[in-house]
Chain A
Amino acid sequence: QSVLTQPPSASGTPGQRVTISCSGSNSNIGSNFVYWYQHLPGTAPKLLIYNNDQRPSGVPDRVSGSQSGTSASLAISGLRSADEGVYYCAAWDDNLNGPVFGGGTKLTVL
């Protein structure tokens, strides 16, 4: 059981916008920044969003993140087949004194 809760799956058609939610608690999302990672098959995980809503260099602006209270969400617009993979949210947890992750959401482009 992961500390952060994500839906196991999400889907959309090419060009659509899809959102993935991430729910935590006051000890993690409620008091620390949220990160999102993309894990494509056969590759190393990749940082998509840091500090709730910031994109690293090279991540397109069709990817966005937000946070409110103890929840966060990732949005991907203009969906492409190359976006298929698993997406993880993460945040520092004050109780663990380390980062915690969500269980991952498998994104399928129909």
Chain B
Amino acid sequence: EVQLVQSGAEVKKPGESLRISCKGSGYSFTTYWISWVRQMPGKGLEWMGRIDPLDSYTNYSPSLQGHVTISADKSITTAYLQWSSLKASDTAMYYCARRKYFGSGSYGFDYWGQGTLVTVSS
């Protein structure tokens, strides 16, 4: 059974660093890219970026490039989303999702993690 299991909720102060994780199991971890998707309070879903676990190649949404870092450790089938200096506006639910090829040049997310709630408050 394919599973993406995310780390637990976090409460942090502005300026602190944080790394949350997403562990994949039940499939070949290096075969599928992992994306991170943000849901800010009361808002919709927003794609943040993705990583190819095979070689750690990454793409970021232009609006978030430089503020977050996506990484992966294929030896432990885990992807990460990291901040070096959190802001209050980073308060959100964060999801990881597995990207699958559906043919005709089309990619979508076929499995999602359960979400990690990050709260940043002084």
Contact = CB atoms under 8 A, between A and B. Distances in A.
Contacts of B111: 44, 47
Query: Considering residues A51, A88, A97, A98, which has the most beta carbons from chain B within 10 angstroms of its beta carbon?
Result: A98
Contacts of B44: 2, 88, 101-104
Contacts of B35: 99
B109 A33 contact: no
Contacts of A110: none
A96 interface: yes
A99 B36 CA distance: 11
Given A96-B62, A97-B59, A98-B59, A47 B108 contact: yes
A46 B4 CA distance: 12
A104 B41 CA distance: 13
Nearest to A37: B109
Contacts of A47: 108-111
Q: Chain B at the A interface: mostly helix, strand, loop or mixed?
A: strand
B47 A99 contact: yes
Interface residues of B, number: 28
A101 B110 contact: no
A78 B80 CA distance: 40
Interface in B56-70: 59, 61-62
A90 B43 contact: no
Contact of A54 (B102, B107, B113): B102
B47 A101 contact: yes
A100 B47 contact: yes
A19 interface: no
Contacts of B97: 45
Query: Considering residues B35, B44, B111, B112, which has the most beta carbons from chain A within 10 angstroms of its beta carbon?
Result: B44
B75 interface: no
Interface in B17-53: 35, 37, 43-47, 49-50
B114 to A, nearest CB: 5
A40 B41 CA distance: 16
Interface pairs A-B: 10 shortest CB-CB: A103-B44, A101-B45, A44-B112, A33-B106, A35-B108, A2-B44, A45-B112, A104-B44, A50-B102, A44-B114
